[in-house]
Amino acid sequence: MNLRRWLARKSGLDTRVEEYAFAADPVLGHTATARLAERWVNTTCGYCSVGCGMQIGVREGRAVSVRGNPEHPVNRGRLCPKGLAEHHAISAEGRAREPLLRRDGRLVRVPWTEAIETMVTRFQQVQERYGADSLGVISTGQLVTEEFYALGKLVQLGFGTANYDGNTTLCMSTAVAGYKRSFGSDGPPGAYDDFAAADFILLIGANIADNHPILCARLEPNEARTLVVADPRVTKTAMMADLYLPVKPRSDLALLNAMLRIVLDEQLYNAEYVARHTRGLDELRASLAAFSLEDAAEITGLSQSLIRQVALLYARAKRPMVAWTMGVNHSTKGTETVNAINNLALLFGHVGQPGASPFSITGQCNAMGTREAGFASSLPGYRKFESEADREELAKLWNLPLERIPSARGLAYPDIIEAAVAGRIRALWILGTNPLVSFPNVDVLRQALDRLDFLVVQDGFHPTPTTELADLVLPAAIWGEKEGTYTNSERRVSKVNAAVAPPGEARSDFDIFLAVAERLGCREAIFPSWKSPADAFEEWRRISAGRLCDYSGISYEALERVHGIQWPLAANSIESPEATRRLYGNGRFATDDGRARLIATAWTPFPEQPSPEYPLVLNTGRTVEHWHTRTKTGAISILQRMAPRAWLEMNPLDAQRLELRPHDPVEVISARGRVSRVELRITEIVAPGQVFLPFHFAESNANQITQSAFDPISREPNFKQCAVRVERSPMSARERARKRR
């Protein structure tokens, strides 16, 4: 700043009037000139799975503002705080700008050609030496569906490894597994309209006020509903409830089984529906014979009469909905818990009916896209690895020999990590995820990454705790810089568009996949004549045609026109694209015989019970201001200001016993590690004996202490409960110095 300017500022002649000026924007109305846009680009939010339609305001090639798309059926113009500040993610500091290759221990800039060449050569060397499956790929829920489809083909058909999974296994694989077991296929049957249409809503392990705030806006206008919230913690969502159930940690399955027992014992269920559309009633009944209401009361901490009342509320409701998220999924009993929820719905035929469905609220913006188009938990279009007919169909559609189509699922995410520790996975490609913060018991992951011959991390941001360990960093475009589609929790496909160019040399993930395929020499075979995501989408429409997730009636043009279309929509459908669609409303399920399965489940205590050494149960979760590992939201000053660091919630009784005071820095210690210097919040939000720590913060990483315990079916980690003890942190050097003074 020159002297004149400095003097003008200091004397008060210059008050930066231009920076703080206002003007009329035809879209936003009277607003700060800093937000004035030359043009608006329709897109879909890139954070969570609610799938809000939004518009990015662009001026001089920069994203300067956002607003909710008033015409989008999901949010009708509303956005959550992360969405309202999303344009700042694009211009945030710490974006990855150029390919970086590790040389002599340091990451140095290299041209793209060299980056791709090195990556493919190293991967091929590893595969030649240790076998094709020694390459692992861990993807994300953050890419567009076109990219997931392309990546799946590239990994499974190009590199020829089956060991491909996404961070969605840390998140939604339980819902996937639960739906498959009950209904024969993945695919949430309900719609957001159900939140408004239901007369009874049970939110179980779902803190939507923090994690899916715009769903609260769908639910809140429904004044006819009874909202029951089951959560060990008095969340913001619990405060919305008409009836709050303060269940003990991981007792959800006991609560559900008690409800099932009551419904069966008192013959409250829809016998006709059960007889016509399900199998397994006798086994279900038998599995509950030894499980009494007294047991349930003991396990859940709820009174028997209260459990019975909740069961009766569900049984007598005309349009009851049960919705869940991570409280259920993040559990070694997660899949069974999902099955118990599905059992309850099936006993009454409350599946795919207006206002009534077992509804999994997804996590990431396009976790659903990975499930539909990916090659991880199933073949594209919810085809089964084990079905020869499905494989033959794909081989024909792709014009590839049948033996190129994988016939079995590869390793799931946690098993890829274990295989790396064991030396069976030798090279790893991580895309759009930051496992150094998000993977449980992170020291195991560190060991795994240390043992690798070659680690490629493809991300929109650098440095992140994960890119710092990479041998090669590929800079990727992020939301707002690329085109494609996202699918939200209610199976609604929405368009994602590029508003601005990626920074530096960063390229869209799609372009990177094409370049890798080119170098591998399989581009024409797996991506025939593809140039843009639109080409992938056209192929995906053909691949999904006739499947449960039928996209054939959905086109980019229609998506731009109506802003969001729920699948299935067949090409020849006479249905309006805007119509609300649900699955299985006719009682025909995706199983061989068309009948859903009632599945026997059994509650067991969570794996690591409190002990004298570790007497408290740690619960982990999120806060509304941040997204996952904070690579984006930590770089956005307004969100960071509102939630600047981690905290530990503890009940006053425990704090008194431990002689701790509000704002004390504490250590949270488990058998696996410790989180240091977390600020203590003494609060009645949590029950005595329990503590809560948000997991977003790398510097206070909750996953230093979580455990390696996984659902045997879905392979999802048991993030939500482990045993810890809490101590006041030893004084820092500064505090000691101050004390001495």
Site for other proteins in 282-311 (CB under 8 A): 302-303, 306, 308-309
From the number of C-beta atoms within 10 Å of its C-beta (0-12, 13-18, 19+), residue 446 rates as middle
One residue of 19, 93, 104, 403 binding other proteins per CB under 8 A:
19
CB 337 within 8 A of CB 374: no
One residue of 55, 65, 331, 631 binding other proteins per CB under 8 A:
65
| From 15-23, 121-129, 533-541, 595-603, span contacting other proteins (CB under 8 A) | 15-23
Query: CB within 8 A of 191, min separation 6: which ones?
Result: 357, 490, 491, 566, 580, 581, 582
State the pairing for strand pair 135-139/427-431: parallel
**Segment 34 to 63, residues that bind other proteins, using CB under 8 A:** 34-35
Closest CA to 527 of 155, 196, 47: 155
One residue of 38, 114, 220, 282 binding other proteins per CB under 8 A:
220
Residue spans of alpha helices (H) in 289-423: 293-300, 304-316, 326-329, 334-348, 367-373, 388-398, 413-421
Residue 562 contacts other proteins per CB under 8 A: no
| Residues in binding contact with other proteins, number by CB under 8 A | 93
**Least Å from the CB of residue 70 to other proteins:** 4
Residue 663 contacts other proteins per CB under 8 A: yes
Residue 695 contacts other proteins per CB under 8 A: no
**Least Å from the CB of residue 382 to other proteins:** 33
CB 587 within 8 A of CB 276: yes
Look up tokens 């739906």; give the residue.
179
**Least Å from the CB of residue 143 to other proteins:** 26
The string of DSSP letters for 405-438 reads: S--S----HHHHHHHHHTTS--EEEEES--HHHH
**Segment 170 to 189, residues that bind other proteins, using CB under 8 A:** none
Q: What is the dihedral of CA 680, 684, 685, 689, to 10 degrees?
A: 70
Nearer to other proteins, 4 or 663 (CB): 663
Closest CA to 673 of 709, 700, 710, 646: 700
**Segment 226 to 265, residues that bind other proteins, using CB under 8 A:** 226, 234, 236-244, 246
State the pairing for strand pair 472-475/596-597: unpaired
> CB-side exposure of 262: number of CA atoms within 13 Å?
24
Closest CA to 473 of 94, 86, 91: 94
**Least Å from the CB of residue 451 to other proteins:** 37
Residue 199 contacts other proteins per CB under 8 A: yes
Q: What is the dihedral of CA 679, 685, 690, 695, to 10 degrees?
A: -50
Residue 16 contacts other proteins per CB under 8 A: yes
CB 440 within 8 A of CB 146: no
**Least Å from the CB of residue 378 to other proteins:** 34
**Least Å from the CB of residue 226 to other proteins:** 4
Q: What residues are paired with 40 via a beta bridge? A: 57
CB 285 within 8 A of CB 252: no
| From 192-200, 498-506, 574-582, 589-597, span contacting other proteins (CB under 8 A) | 192-200
Neighbours of 689 (CB within 10 A): 16
Nearer to other proteins, 522 or 635 (CB): 635
Binding letters toward other proteins, positions 107-136, x by CB under 8 A = ------------------------------
Residue 641 contacts other proteins per CB under 8 A: yes
CA distance 58 to 6: 31
Neighbours of 56 (CB within 10 A): 24
Neighbours of 602 (CB within 10 A): 14
Residue 713 contacts other proteins per CB under 8 A: no
| From 95-103, 312-320, 486-494, 626-634, span contacting other proteins (CB under 8 A) | 312-320
**Segment 592 to 631, residues that bind other proteins, using CB under 8 A:** 624-625
Residue 217 contacts other proteins per CB under 8 A: yes
Residue 216 contacts other proteins per CB under 8 A: yes
Query: CB within 8 A of 723, min separation 6: which ones?
Result: 608, 609, 610, 611, 614, 615, 616, 617, 618, 670, 671
Look up tokens 């299985």; give the residue.
584
**Least Å from the CB of residue 340 to other proteins:** 21
End-to-end CA distance of the chain: 40
Binding letters toward other proteins, positions 324-363, x by CB under 8 A = ----------------------------------------
One residue of 159, 192, 647, 710 binding other proteins per CB under 8 A:
647
**Segment 665 to 684, residues that bind other proteins, using CB under 8 A:** 679, 681, 683-684
State the pairing for strand pair 665-669/320-324: unpaired
One residue of 688, 732, 736, 737 binding other proteins per CB under 8 A:
688
Nearer to other proteins, 30 or 106 (CB): 30
Nearer to other proteins, 241 or 477 (CB): 241
Nearer to other proteins, 80 or 420 (CB): 80
**Least Å from the CB of residue 327 to other proteins:** 16
Nearer to other proteins, 11 or 572 (CB): 11
Nearer to other proteins, 569 or 639 (CB): 639
One residue of 37, 45, 56, 85 binding other proteins per CB under 8 A:
85
One residue of 32, 281, 558, 602 binding other proteins per CB under 8 A:
32
**Least Å from the CB of residue 153 to other proteins:** 39
Q: What is the DSSP letter of 598?
A: -
Nearer to other proteins, 287 or 488 (CB): 488
Closest CA to 142 of 458, 433, 506, 548: 433
**Least Å from the CB of residue 53 to other proteins:** 11
